Structure 1
Amino acid sequence: MSDHPIVGGYLLPGLPHPLLAADQNAGWGRLRRAFEQVREDIRQSGADLILMYSTMWPSVIGHQIQADPEPVWTHVDELFHDLGAIPYHFKMDSDFAEQFHLACKNRGLATRTVSYKGFPIDTGSVVCLKLTNPDNFLPAVICSSNVYADRAETVVLGKAAVEALKQSGKKAVAVVVGTLSNRLHQTWIDPAEDHIHSLKDQEWNQKILAFLEAGRLEDVAQLSRQIHAEARVHKVVNFKSFWWLSAVMGAHNLYQGTVYGYEPVYGTGSAVIGLKRAAHAAQDLEFDEESPDVYRGDRNVLAPSLEARGEFDSQLQVGPALGEED
């Protein structure tokens, strides 16, 4: 496992409050300090780049990959513009972005690179890079989250990233930008009174935190649909990101997890979590889904064809129908 190109993985929240308003709420300040711990971890990781998958950068047709070598702009969050502007000047690994794009294409995925002045980098990516890589110590590559991608497509996207890293000879830290629960307060609140939106959100957040702290990444990935159904997370791509992170890091539970911080940010469950490889796996659950290597299109798993359904129904006809005689 020592030759794996991913040297660490992180889940980082992307709302701007820890960056722009850390002094307005004690929890937001604690998250700011948690980001600073991750910053030091990344500096000591031996990584050559930061590979980001942002749930706050949605795409509709395939995935997009940021390839502008030096994006410069001033960003204002569309929801929390009252917190102020975020000027940025980032450094991107445009060569690796092209390699990643080619690896995706070779595996049947629809991707494209984007590189033009003023391209709207999402709030989450801006916030996470400003807090963990403020001096551009490492170049980054940002990938969007396709809102329609199923598990197979997302897993293949992660495998394409690993393939590109191996071909390039580079090592990376993998960063997922997103929250756990993501229901926002719908009315203005006093920052000092921020809290998780609902008890149900809080309960599911705590379960996920316990799994990840125990290093059970693949279990969370396998349970993501159930978590989404139970918690009714509005933004389905949040838990889709665990499919990607598992595919990038390795689909198993051989991890040591660290919860650097967990706080409400305007109702959302915002956690700063790190994962590193461990010598022994956490308790396994039964992994019941395949691990595809090439994307071959959506599988009609929720609504089988009439032909398939008829064949399935016929197999259930083990005796005469009601009203028929033997």
Structure 2
Amino acid sequence: MTVVSAFLVPGSPLPYLRQDNPPWQPLAAGYEKVRDALQASKPDALLIYSTQWFAVLDQLWQARPHLTGEHVDENWYEYGDLTIDLRSDTDLVDACIAGCADIGIRAKGVNYDHFPVDTGTIVANNFVNPGGKIPLVIAANNLYHGPGETEKLAAMAVEQADKQGKRLAVLAIGGLSAAYFDEDIDIADDRIRHDADDAANRQLLDALANGDRRSASEALGRFNEGTKADMGMKHLAWLFGATGDFKGARVHAYGPTYGAGAAVVEFNL
């Protein structure tokens, strides 16, 4: 089996930088459970899609062998810096770039020092892959791609990994409802901003936990129709494309990130 584990995780830096804040503690604790489950699955590489790395022309893939440095989030800079330590599986990245042509998508690699890596990728890697020991295959969120193209890209990446005999852990990095507070709040009182968003988030998570890909896709459609969602939940489309199917999931944590919804979910493959 090429895909040995798969997870939905938030890209917000808040649970990472302020793990002492009560509303964010469950998300940080959920991330720790994901780290343990991911490590136990013994992947050769992490297949990553973050809603926060935007591309507008070609499909971009991170091709730098090793990226290090410090990152300051453009929104939450007052909470501290993020350390970057990312290693790419360049053989698999190259294969994915070449494989894009077979599915009719133009692609290229990004390979230069001090590349502005997105916050979500850094946070997820720091939580689940401390020290950057497991190499990564990181795909950008092309703003012109819908769920269909996103699924095709993920499936193609898994096919390339299978050809190389590599085991993959899949990380779909992004939130749920995306209505943030637009005024200062006491972070100790953080909550989902709208009750309707809270209900929609919980319904989607219940569908993921209790269902399969078909029922989850139907629930996802209803979620996107009724909620301002993070990038139309294309990160879940990535996970669906990579796994092909799943049989339920375990929700390790659910909570707010300055009003928006976030969850840590482990999928049963």
TM range (shorter): over 0.9
Q: TM-score when scaled to structure 2?
A: 0.95
The CA distance in 1 between the partners of 2:118 and 2:211, in whole Å, is 29
Partner of 2:24: 28
Partner of 1:257: 249
SS in structure 1 of the partner of residue 109 of structure 2: strand
Q: Which 10-residue stretch deviates more, 48-57 or 141-150?
A: 141-150
The CA distance in 1 between the partners of 2:214 and 2:6, in whole Å, is 13
Partner of 2:237: 243
Out of 128, 131, 135, the position equivalent to 2:127 is 131
The CA distance in 2 between the partners of 1:171 and 1:7, in whole Å, is 6
Q: How does 1:8-157 map to 2 (within 5 A)?
A: 8-23=5-20, 25-157=21-153
SS in structure 1 of the partner of residue 113 of structure 2: coil
Gaps of 5+ in 2: none
Partner of 2:268: 276
Q: What is the Cα deviation at residue 225 of structure 1?
A: 3.5
Q: Which residue type is aligned with residue 72 of structure 2?
A: V
Q: Which 10-residue stretch deviates more, 102-111 or 195-204?
A: 102-111
For the Cα contact (< 8 Å) 2:85–2:131, is it kept in 1? no
For the Cα contact (< 8 Å) 2:207–2:219, is it kept in 1? no
How many residue pairs align between the two structures? Answer: 269
Q: What is the Cα deviation at residue 248 of structure 1?
A: 0.8
The CA distance in 2 between the partners of 1:157 and 1:219, in whole Å, is 22
For the Cα contact (< 8 Å) 2:45–2:89, is it kept in 1? yes
SS in structure 2 of the partner of residue 64 of structure 1: strand
Q: What is the Cα deviation at residue 138 of structure 1?
A: 1.1
The CA distance in 1 between the partners of 2:90 and 2:15, in whole Å, is 28
The CA distance in 2 between the partners of 1:150 and 1:190, in whole Å, is 36
Q: Which 10-residue stretch deviates more, 144-153 or 52-61?
A: 144-153
Q: Which residue type is aligned with residue 13 of structure 1?
A: P
The CA distance in 1 between the partners of 2:50 and 2:185, in whole Å, is 27
- Once the two structures are aligned, what percentage of the paired residues are identical? 30
Residues 244 and 87 of structure 1: CA distance in aligned 2, closer, same or farther (over 3 Å): closer
Pairwise CA RMSD:
1.4
Q: TM-score when scaled to structure 1?
A: 0.79
Higher normalized helix content (fraction of residues): 2
Partner of 1:7: 4
Higher normalized strand content (fraction of residues): 2
Residues 177 and 205 of structure 1: CA distance in aligned 2, closer, same or farther (over 3 Å): same
SS in structure 2 of the partner of residue 175 of structure 1: strand
Gaps of 5+ in 1: 278-326
For the Cα contact (< 8 Å) 1:18–1:32, is it kept in 2? yes
SS in structure 2 of the partner of residue 33 of structure 1: helix
Q: What is the Cα deviation at residue 238 of structure 1?
A: 4.1
Q: Which 10-residue stretch deviates more, 57-66 or 217-226?
A: 217-226
